[in-house]
Amino acid sequence: GRNQSARRIAQEMHRLYGGDYKVSSKLVGRREGRELKRFTYLVRLPPWRRGDYLLKDGTPHRIEGFQGRRVKLKNIETRREESVEISSVETLAHYPSKEVEMEATVLYTSEREIVIMDPVSFAEVNIKKPPGWKRRESVKVVRVDGGIYLL
């Protein structure tokens, strides 16, 4: 019935967005000898979304997803993924993806570096060329805490 629907909705929200999930019940009366209970489903969502960035150990990490009380992070520099407790990263600086992801124009490339134009200051910025990089007119970058990182 309605109780099953409410439970499924709360569980699906918890699976998609992470955070805390709690169920509580309260005895509200009796009808025909059976106990009547009211169920409350609590889903407390984390303050960030998938795709946002957290500044961890001086390096931006992209939020890849949530698994219960854990958040899956991807280091933008090393491309390594890790899963950490949400409580251990709650105090880190948070950058919504809409504010920090930008297109940058590629000015030229060298053997080891890509030179792009900073989309905010219009200055030339050298970025280490990632393995397997193919020449393009523009690239997607993340501008976090004064640094520019290639996506």
* CA of residue 132 relative to chain centroid, distance: 26
* Residue 38, number of CB atoms within 10 A of its CB: 11
What fold, for 99-150?
OB fold (Dihydrolipoamide Acetyltransferase, E2P) (2.40.50)
pTM: 0.73
Q: Say what the pLDDT of residue 132 is.
A: 77
Chain centroid to CA 122: 28
Q: What is residue 18's predicted lDDT score, i.e. its pLDDT?
A: 77
3-state secondary structure 95-134: ECHHHHEEEEEEEEECCCEEEEECCCCCCEEEEECCCCCC
Question: In this predicted structure, what is the pLDDT of residue 72?
Answer: 92
Residue ranges of domains in the chain: 2-44, 53-97, 99-150
> Average pLDDT for residues 110-131, to the nearest whole number?
86
CATH architecture for segment(s) 53-97:
Roll (2.30)
Q: How confident is the model at residue 145 (pLDDT cuts 50, 70, 90)?
A: confident
Mean pLDDT of the chain: 88
For residue 73, the model assigns a pLDDT of: 93
The string of pLDDT tens digits covering residues 7-38 is 999 999 888 887 788 999 999 999 999 999 99
DSSP three-state, residue 60: strand
Which DSSP state fits 13?
H
What pLDDT does 14 receive?
85
* Closest C-alpha among 78, 84, 11 to residue 48: 84
* Confidence check: pLDDT of 42 > 90: yes
Q: How sure is the predictor about 50, in pLDDT bands with cuts at 50, 70 and 90? A: confident
- Average of per-residue pLDDT across 92-111: 89
For the chain, the residue count is 151
The percent of residues above 70 in pLDDT, for the chain, comes to: 100
Whole-number percent of the chain with pLDDT over 90: 31
